[in-house]
Amino acid sequence: MGVIPIINENDCICVDELRFGDNDTLSALVAVSCNADELFLLTDVDCLFDKNPHEFPDAKPIRELSSIELAKLDVDVAGDSEWGTGGMATKLVAARTAVAAGIECILTHGAKPDKVLRYLRDGSENELMTVFRVAPDDMQFA
């Protein structure tokens, strides 16, 4: 199992001239440059929800999105959108970058590494996570 570790964008080795803005963007750019098969974006919830699960107990999980559905989401990293600023918004932008390059992207809880291992072993059907799928004609979104 080949794994590429991601160095925090805000590590002490980072100088202003080399900043990307966030770790999600950095991870997507590294995944694209390495021609990775998959990119895992880790967060503080199990998956993408239709609204913020920390604020709305009735939030429904979104287990899978096609690249077309992902492209249609209103995501504004700097301003207001239904996905908020930073946090989930930057993850969705990173997912778009990866999927546009033909890299399947998985969003899941960072404090539950066993979920990633089970996904790699068995697939996502039994795991609560969001998989951003690549279709054969998805390269148009790059």
- If DSSP states are collapsed to H, E and C, what string results for 10-77? CCCCCCHHHCCCCHHHHHHHHHHHCCCCEEEEEECCCCEECCCCCCCCCCCEECEEEHHHHHHCCCCC
* CA-closest candidate to residue 54, choices 64, 43, 38: 43
Distance of CA 32 to the CA centre of its chain: 13
Q: pLDDT tens digits for 50-101?
A: 888 888 899 899 999 998 888 888 765 444 445 444 578 889 999 999 999 9
pLDDT of residue 120: 86
Structural domain includes residue 44: yes
* CA-closest candidate to residue 51, choices 88, 99, 91, 79: 88
* CA-closest candidate to residue 41, choices 88, 100, 106, 85: 106
Structural domain includes residue 65: yes
Question: What is the residue range of 116's domain?
Answer: 24-141
Percent of the residues in the chain that have a pLDDT greater than 90, as a whole number: 34
Q: Which domain CATH number covers 89?
A: 3.40.1160.10
More confident residue, 84 or 27: 27
Structural domain includes residue 19: no
pLDDT of residue 54: 84
pLDDT of residue 14: 54
Structural domain includes residue 1: no
pLDDT of residue 131: 94
pLDDT of residue 1: 57
pLDDT of residue 89: 85
Instruction: Return the structure tokens found at 55.
Output: 């604020």
Total domains present in the chain: 1
Range in 3-7, 32-36, 49-53 the model is least confident about: 3-7
| Residue 40 β-bridge partners | 106
Structural domain includes residue 87: yes
Structural domain includes residue 88: yes
Strands 48-49 and 130-133: unpaired
CA angle (44 as vertex; 41, 46 as ends), nearest 5:
75
Structural domain includes residue 10: no
- pLDDT exceeds cutoff 90 at 2: no
Residue range 107-130: average pLDDT?
A: 86
Structural domain includes residue 2: no
More confident residue, 66 or 124: 66
